[in-house]
Structure 1
Amino acid sequence: MYPVYLLGFVEFSPTPEPEDDREDEEQPQPQPQQFDGPARRKKLVPKPKTIVHSAPSHNGIPAFVAYSVPADTPDNADMTPLRPAYAYVFYDTSPGALNLGRAKDLARSIFDGNKNNRNGLPERIEVFAIPLPPPSETRSLYPAEELGLDLVLSQESPWYARITKRVSQDPQDAHCLQNAAACINHYEREVQSRLAIPDRAEALSWYLPEGFGDFYYTRHIIIVDRLEDEPKNPPGPTRWQDTLAWTHTLPSEQRNPDINRAERADSSSYGRGLMVSWRLRDQDEDEDEDDEAPPLIWGKVAFEMLGKSALIFSRYGVNILYEHFIPNGVFDFEREKARERGADDGVDLPMQTRPFARLYRRAGSPA
């Protein structure tokens, strides 16, 4: 018996008969279970792994590339279809640039340590090793011919005199310009050399595209002109290989890349970088000469802030390469021009606007 509550009175209803005792009703029969085999397991996508190997170099200087591939990729696989078309390019011009394993270690450390600062689209990190002299502590004047600006800018340009005058009396600025000019000259020739690779798929996998996140400049590189293998007064036993990933744990006032960036770069215990930009996009012909952007700029950044200051800025626009630049034929246009010219015929002075910038805009992407 079980109680039934109705208007506050308790009544008892008869206990229902067990179902098995109801002979007049047909009882459902148990159905045999079907076993087609073991339950299907969800197919897991293998996590990517970072690979680092040598990269092309038109003049034979050490070059390495880092990018990710599926974890089950054999070491002897053809990497051409797996190599991303977008690249961030670094130059190590520090005195120890040719130390055994330095360029390879630098490429891996930058790639693995800055995953959160990049776009997430397929991309690679390339490092070229060109050791150059450190800044002089005794010289105060630098003649124009020692600055190397004529490698990248015509002496007839009004900017040539302006830039050389500004940096010739500052050893630090002279050092930065010497590094920038040498690396730009190499980079421009490397771009042409790779575009002239006969196989299109291979040429695309080694493409050095322009940067799309900057409204003024189309080309960008990062120069590491100082790298301390044994940090001085570090906050703990941290090596430079580890610093690229720990900017997120810094106090906010130190994490902000705009606070005393140049001073922090010069005093960094780990090293210093130069963010270099050149090749202006099309400018208004009616624009006043004094308002024109200079054809070449650079800025100092502490080595441990490369991700926050450089890569996080450059990542915007990576999708333009894959969604517009390649499908709309700009890569093929560049490649055809390079093949017509020949990789060994030299390059134009790079402080010029490229003719296919207009082609890019006609393709429908923002300038």
Structure 2
Amino acid sequence: MALRQLMLAKQIADKEKELEEMRGKDADFETREKELETSISEANTEEERGVVDGEIEKFEQERDAHNERKSELETKLSELREQMKEYEKTPERREKKKDMGRRNKEEIEEMRSAINSFVKSKGQVREGGFKEVDAGILIPVEMLAVQKKPEDVVDLGNYVKNVSVNSSSGKYPVIAKSGSKMSTVKELEQNPELSKPKISNIDYSIATRRGYIPISQEAIDDADYDVTGLIRDEINDQSRNTRNTDIATVLKSATEKSVTGLDGLKDLVNKEIKKVYPVKFIISSSLYAELDKLKDKNGRYLLQDSITSASGKMLFGKEVVVLDDDMIAGAGELKGFVGDAKSFCTFFDRKQASVEWVDNQIYGKLLAGVVRYDVKKTDTDAGFYITYTQGE
């Protein structure tokens, strides 16, 4: 890979990482907007309304700057990817592929002729062009570019609170959402005491998860595609799958609750979970399939289309996140987490890295992935782990 191409790949990776982090903050702005809506409804005096108005102005400025930066990153990413495509279309690269194509065609014709002679002579004629094995012939398989299976990528790390830590263990203070209010007082009167916040310390202990994939140098040399890049992507996928599984395990530890029919879901969202929590449905694909069939009395489907939700659907105006059954439930089980995952669960991130080095003993490379983190439940009031049953 040319130096210019390496630089473009590095720039693309950096921009993608920054854009993913920016998108992960979208939920924070959603939470702040909900909190401001609550503050607006509770502002009863001109002074209180003035304070809220200032907070709204500050929030809108930060949100606009956030969205503008996201737009800039998306534009820059698009430009860098176009540059990479143009680079891969250079005459030198096209000529190399053309020569390889002519050479491969000649080799294949030679191989066909040799195999035909072998077959027609019942093994008596053994021309050059193929290898013999166990009194037979070995037909080579061309190393073609790998085709990756399409997949739905859900990163649960974007839905929980992320905290970077610098030590292997420690305590993280969490203030519970009490819903308490300030009192109205007259001018120059003594300030009343506010409700004391309930603070709990969450112990975390960082664990290391790692592994490697060996790749032969022959595979790297013979393949007309970036083998190491493909395997590196696979390591990153496995890292994300590991994080998702650990986060889902914590979500499944929420207070269990049985819910019957659509009315049961409505009661859960409207009565059981405090309004300070922005609710999301993080559910199994089986539960999603069941909810996707629900209709109102006019025959309209209850799951609403959404361009902002990854699944493309919302229920009661809340985002629906769909996971494979084996991650959030069991096969065919109608289960999932309903609530505010960001308040319920915290991801303590210590370090993540991907490294590679040459191993002379196997004449190849070992690509290693290392992630260090812990996942803890931080606010048990923020959601429930539900089991859904069809209503009558």
For the criterion TM > 0.5, the same-fold answer is no
Query: TM (normalized to structure 2)?
Result: 0.22
Q: Which has the larger radius of gyration?
A: 1
Query: TM (normalized to structure 1)?
Result: 0.23
Q: Which has the higher contact order (CA 8 A, sep 6+)?
A: 2
- Structure with bigger helix share is 2
